[in-house]
């Protein structure tokens, strides 16, 4: 069977303009919607809800973020520590960093992101340990309750 070759026929061209328009629209949307502050969030921790949990107007000066899982393990810098006491050297280190920058302990805020099912006693022990390392400002983090 022989096929005829169309050499002089019109070329079929796809109009790419709408697709590129859409692609750029999507990129622009994602670029504006992405938040790099999510770096301090952790999927292993599910925060409790509160209607009063509103984002702060200005960022904290020197935040020290500690995550507490429901099993009572602390996550610091992405690393899950098997015991609460293992956190102490890191807190000492944070204090040294502050002192190295000529800042007082009042400038630092310990942000506690505890799981909603974590035990209150463990949270209090965590706060107590931070206090023993001279931290005095704490921020108990909750997620905004947007209702049903």
SS3 16: coil
Binding segment for other proteins (CB under 8 A), chosen from 4-12, 79-87, 94-102, 123-131, is: 123-131
Q: Does 88 sit near other proteins (CB under 8 A)?
A: no
Rg of the chain (C-alpha set)? 26
- Residue 65 structure tokens: 């973020």
Smallest gap from residue 106 Cβ to other proteins (A): 9
Per CB under 8 A, the list member of 15, 54, 79, 148 interacting with other proteins is: 54
Q: Does 92 sit near other proteins (CB under 8 A)?
A: no
Nearer to other proteins, 49 or 85 (CB): 49
Closest CA to 141 of 69, 35, 65: 65
Q: Does 1 sit near other proteins (CB under 8 A)?
A: no
Q: What is the distance between the alpha carbons of residues 45 and 67, in angstroms, rounded to a whole number?
A: 7
83 Cβ contact list (under 8 Å, min separation 6)? 73
Q: Does 108 sit near other proteins (CB under 8 A)?
A: no
Query: What residues are paired with 62 via a beta bridge?
Result: 108
- Residue 10 structure tokens: 């019109």
Contact positions vs other proteins (CB under 8 A): 16, 19-20, 23-24, 26-27, 30-31, 33-35, 38, 41, 47-56, 68, 109, 111, 114-125, 127-128, 131-132, 134, 136-144, 146
């Amino acid at each position: 069977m022989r096929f005829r070759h169309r050499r002089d026929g019109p070329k079929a061209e796809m109009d790419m303009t709408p697709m590129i328009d859409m692609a750029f629209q999507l990129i622009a949307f994602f670029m504006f919607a992405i938040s790099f502050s999510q770096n301090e969030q952790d999927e292993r921790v599910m925060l409790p809800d509160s209607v009063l949990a509103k984002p702060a107007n200005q960022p904290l000066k020197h935040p020290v973020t500690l995550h507490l899982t429901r099993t009572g393990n602390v996550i610091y810098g992405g690393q899950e520590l098997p015991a609460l006491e293992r956190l102490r050297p890191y807190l000492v280190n944070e204090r040294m960093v502050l002192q190295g920058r000529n800042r007082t302990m009042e400038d630092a805020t310990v942000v506690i992101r505890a799981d909603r099912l974590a035990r209150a006693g463990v949270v209090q022990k965590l706060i107590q340990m931070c206090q023993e390392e001279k931290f005095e400002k704490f921020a108990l983090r909750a997620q905004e309750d947007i209702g049903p």
